[in-house]
Amino acid sequence: MKILKFIISGCLLLIVFSCKSNLNILEELSLIENIASPKEDWEGIMFSSYDRNGGNDDGFAGTFSKLRLEKGNSVLAECNGPGYISRIWFTHSSLDVDGLLARKKEHIKIYLDDKETPLIDIPLENLFQGTEEGFPNGLVGKGLGGYYCYVPISFNNYCRVEVEGDDVKFYQVNVQMYKGNKKIKTLSQKNLVDTNKLLKDFGEMIHEHMGGNKEALKEFIINVPANEVGSLEIEKDLGIINELNIEVAPNNLESLLKCQLKIYWDDHKSPSVDVPLKMFFTIPNKDNPSLSLFSGYKNGKLYNTLPMPFNKKARIEIISNDQELMLKVGCLIRDQNKETPRVLSTYYNENLPTKNKDKPHLLLDTKGEGHYVGTFLITEGKTHGKHLPVWLEGDEVFEIDGEIKIHGTGTEDYFNCGWYGVEGRLNNSENFPLHGFPEYRMDITGKASAYRWHLLDPIPFKSSIHATIEHGTNNSIEADYRSVAFYYINQ
């Protein structure tokens, strides 16, 4: 029920933002299909409390938990130029007590452009409750130990995020910086109030997009012989697949998840998508299905709703590993207005196990121009003390065009959660629209699988991207890692 609210609220906010502006941010971000459109005028950066000395003090002591103190307040992020704040994440300040900062209802203050008075000035925890004007549920929330906000806060020439006092611990603030030659309209208090009123008209529609699209899909039957290839070819000028699903009987789900999936766009000789089938649908195994905005399993169908544009044709191949399968494949195929410069691609990598203490697990390494939109990660290893998966201490690092733009504070933090293994926090599985842990099981051997979609916070790159995630502090823990990165890249 959270997914459509997220979509609608994002659309309404961005409509308000784009009025009377030279830059149509609605066109840039609000339509789900536009996650596939080029982002060449944007740059994604992040401010966080990661340990600048290379250790694991990512907020525990508060050493790196602010840029500076200003008039007794902690400045967390500061930017010059146009853009929008795309994500704010916090987790509880301590291991055994719930709450943020010093739990004194300290305010978050967000200053935009040349305003001396903050546009946002509310208790930090209120930002995530869904009760504040302009910060509706779906765009904000909390769960599995994490507090997250995806309300796009636009500015034309400057922004500063700060919180009262000096008790910050763990935090991340993502910002999308605009590099084009148009003007962005700065968010105002009236925008926030108007948006909140508009959202109330859509209460009955919240559940519409749970588990794939309800529009009529064109259906195909694919016969996949045991240990052979079954294929489907779609020929259409300027087409886009807005959903790919596979209907499967429950007793055949395990066999289907063992298959390999390959997708070729146009006349490419090599597949742009080449992954274990379960990875494309973000399913760790048959007993732990995920359910998110873009992928999962529901009502007997695997679904992926990432837009898949092509210019002439698409070829889908499924390779069986053990038994013959008769599959019903559904495709929602629409028209594009013009040729697509970018296609959906995947990068699959596995380390079974991760052994090199000097080498993190690789999420993506490629050259060209494109943007990163999603991660699915499956991990398994020997637990430590109280059955904790300490490999989740690893930070994610995104090096964009040769420069580190994003350095995180821990694996569960990247997936919008926090404090793994702690009662009432990340110690069970749960799915949210844009992130989640469909699998979290700990005993002597632990398994943790997670996904995150970068809908409002894509990571553009002009010439290259090198994305990694540590396995434990400084890659000190041995564990099995399997991952797939989803990205769009110029053909």
Predicted pLDDT at 206: 29
Q: Which residues contact 24 (CB under 8 A, 6 or more apart)?
A: 18
Residues of the chain with pLDDT > 70, as a percent, come to 89
Domains in the chain: ranges and CATH? 2-205 (2.60.120.1390), 218-340 (2.60.120.1390), 343-490 (2.60.120.1390)
> What's the pLDDT tens digit per position in 46-56?
999 999 999 99
pLDDT band at 173 (very low <50, low <70, confident <90, very high): very high
Q: Is the pLDDT of residue 198 over 60?
A: no
Q: List C-alpha distances in Å: 216 to 212, 243, 309, 407.
A: 11, 11, 19, 42
Mean pLDDT value across residues 166-182: 96
Q: Is the pLDDT of residue 410 over 60?
A: yes
* Range in 4-8, 89-93, 428-432 with the lowest mean pLDDT: 4-8
**Closest by CA position to 322, among listed 228, 222, 231, 249:** 228
pLDDT band at 62 (very low <50, low <70, confident <90, very high): very high
Predicted pLDDT at 213: 67
442 with 286: CB under 8 angstroms? no
Q: Is the pLDDT of residue 207 over 60?
A: no
Largest alpha-carbon pair distance within the chain? 70
- DSSP label of 277: H
pLDDT band at 18 (very low <50, low <70, confident <90, very high): very low
φ/ψ bin of 11: left (φ > 0), alpha (ψ from -120 to 50), beta (otherwise): alpha
Phi, psi dihedral angles at 478 (to 5 degrees): -90, 125
Cα–Cα dist 48/71, whole Å = 21
CA dihedral (352, 353, 357, 359) in degrees, to 10, reads 20
pLDDT band at 216 (very low <50, low <70, confident <90, very high): confident
Considering 146-160, 242-256, 343-357, 395-409, the range whose residues carry the highest mean pLDDT is 395-409
Predicted pLDDT at 152: 86
Q: What is the DSSP string of 303-370?
A: EE-S-EEESSEEEEEEE-SSS-EEEEEEEEEEE-SS--SEEEEEEEEEESS---TT-PEEEEEEESSE
Mean pLDDT of the chain: 89
161 with 110: CB under 8 angstroms? yes
φ/ψ bin of 300: left (φ > 0), alpha (ψ from -120 to 50), beta (otherwise): left
Mean pLDDT value across residues 255-275: 96
Cα–Cα dist 128/147, whole Å = 6
Predicted pLDDT at 151: 85
What number of residues does the chain have? 491
Predicted pLDDT at 211: 59
Predicted pLDDT at 358: 79
Asked if the peptide bond before residue 250 counts as cis, ω within 30 degrees of 0, the response is no
> What's the pLDDT tens digit per position in 283-340?
999 999 999 889 999 989 999 999 999 999 999 999 998 889 999 999 999 998 888 8
Q: List C-alpha distances in Å: 401 to 365, 374, 377, 417.
A: 11, 18, 24, 28
Number of C-beta neighbours around residue 309 at 10 A: 24
Cα–Cα dist 200/205, whole Å = 10
Predicted pLDDT at 6: 41
Cα–Cα dist 118/132, whole Å = 15
Cα–Cα dist 27/39, whole Å = 11
Q: Is the pLDDT of residue 162 over 90?
A: yes
> Does this model's pTM top 0.75?
yes
Residues of the chain with pLDDT > 90, as a percent, come to 74
Q: Is the pLDDT of residue 210 over 90?
A: no
